[in-house]
Chain A
Amino acid sequence: MAPDIGFLSLFFASIFTSNILLSNFLGMCSFISVSKDFNSSNGLGLAVTFVMTITTAINWLVYHYLLVPFGLDYLRYIVFIIVIAAIVQISEMVIERMSTNLYMSLGIFLPLITVNCAIMGVALFMQIRNYNFLQSVVFGLGSGLGWWLAIILLASIRKKVDNSPVPGPLKGPGITLITIGFMAMAFMGFSGMLAVQ
């Protein structure tokens, strides 16, 4: 059944020690391609956090109230991805209505969230680890915030790295990966304090 873990520790663990990006490597594609620019990183981080929290909640409800009772849990991949695509579409419409500025600044990144594996990954982790509803929401929110923190940190570091002399073949993705590696080591430093499994 649901693991016995406090909300607060789950929250901080999913931001720091079990950061969805640095320890589970999810959402790397957009992480590497977007982090060139601080403002779009910030916008994408916000959007990911928002979508992640909502989709995790809805996916939990769908999984436990629709799929499990009817014995359809092998369909979860399809169902999860459809829920995610639908939520992204809806939030696109809502954001366009409420704030044109935010909508313009997010641009292409909003629809791309559908194929961001971090969102799908959180949904699958919450199902594999048997979180209950509240734990799943906290886990989704924490993972989103962790992803956001990681991308704005990387965007700030890359600004400096871009002006540094880097060996030719290592330029671009190579040096970015090494930077992320160091960030992952720094985040690992927190791991003695909290752990979620």
Chain B
Amino acid sequence: MAQKTFKSIAKENLWNNNPVFVQILGICSTLAVTNRLLNTLIMTLGVTFATGLSSLTVSLLKNFIPRKVRMIVQTLIISFYVIIIDIVLRAYVPEVSRALGPYVGLIITNCIIMGRTEAFAQSNSPLLSLWDGVTSSLGYMYILLMIAFVRELLGFGTIFGFQVLPANFVNWTIMVMPPSAFFMLAIFMWIFKGYMFKKEVKK
């Protein structure tokens, strides 16, 4: 690949190589936390925090970590940040923390973070790694927010908890149940990939 710049990294992570659509990473949480916008927003902010700082830390420490134990060291670094997120959430937004349940802890096993530290932070300078971590989780964030928007709107008739649809609207209960998460993600994937396909044909 050519010279990595802040701009090229952002474009790569937000669009061309989006972690959710193209690399199919971090799908578990994409599906699980998207039934309410508020939960989704807080979850993705947590992921952004953890990904950015873990990438930064791994990149700073990369010369001190022996190759053989690097996976476990990375896991420990990630767990450290996730514990911080967990404690902060429980202190300030206990009801969201309860709604997210085990999924906060599961940020540790979110493949996006591990993937970024392993593929990027290992071999790049700290600032670039921080930027890479943040942008790839932003790529994850906007897709989750879109999915959550549709699911919450149709499932509860609300946006961020405010009633927006008229009261006589019949909620589509299926939208807040597990299967619709799969369908919504597939439909979004369909639209986005269709768009990418068209562009490729034009070229």
In the complex, which residues of chain A have a beta carbon less than 8 angstroms from the beta carbon of B26? 29
Q: Which single residue of chain B is at the shortest CB-CB distance from A175? A: B186
In the complex, which residues of chain B have a beta carbon less than 8 angstroms from the beta carbon of A77? 79, 82-83, 86, 105, 108
B side interface size, CB within 8 A: 43
Map CB proximity to B onto A155-186 as digits: 1 under 8 Å, 0 otherwise: 00000000000011110011101101110110
Does B193 lie within 8 Å of A170, measured CB to CB? yes
In the complex, which residues of chain A have a beta carbon less than 8 angstroms from the beta carbon of B179? 181-182, 184-185, 188
Q: Which of B31, B102, B109, B183 contacts A125 (CB 8 A)?
A: B102
In the complex, which residues of chain A have a beta carbon less than 8 angstroms from the beta carbon of B102? 120-121, 124-125, 128
The reply on B94 being an interface residue by CB < 8 A is no
Nearest Cβ in chain A — how far from B34, in angstroms? Answer: 10
- B: residues with CB less than 8 A from A are 24-29, 31-32, 72, 75-76, 79-80, 82-83, 86-87, 101-102, 105-106, 108-111, 114, 177-183, 185-186, 189-194, 196-197
Q: List 30 A-B contacts (CB under 8 A).
A: A22-B178, A25-B29, A25-B178, A26-B106, A29-B24, A75-B83, A77-B82, A77-B86, A78-B80, A78-B83, A82-B72, A85-B72, A85-B75, A117-B110, A120-B108, A121-B106, A124-B101, A124-B106, A167-B190, A167-B194, A169-B193, A169-B194, A170-B190, A170-B193, A173-B186, A174-B186, A174-B193, A178-B183, A181-B179, A185-B179
Question: Top 3 closest A-B pairs, CB basis?
Answer: A181-B182, A124-B102, A169-B193
Additional A-B contacts beyond A29-B25, A178-B186, A181-B183 (16; CB < 8 A)? A25-B181, A26-B106, A74-B87, A75-B83, A76-B105, A77-B82, A81-B109, A82-B72, A120-B106, A120-B109, A124-B106, A170-B186, A170-B189, A170-B190, A178-B182, A185-B179
- A: residues with CB less than 8 A from B are 22-29, 32-33, 74-78, 80-82, 85, 115-117, 120-121, 124-125, 128, 167-170, 173-175, 177-178, 180-182, 184-185, 188
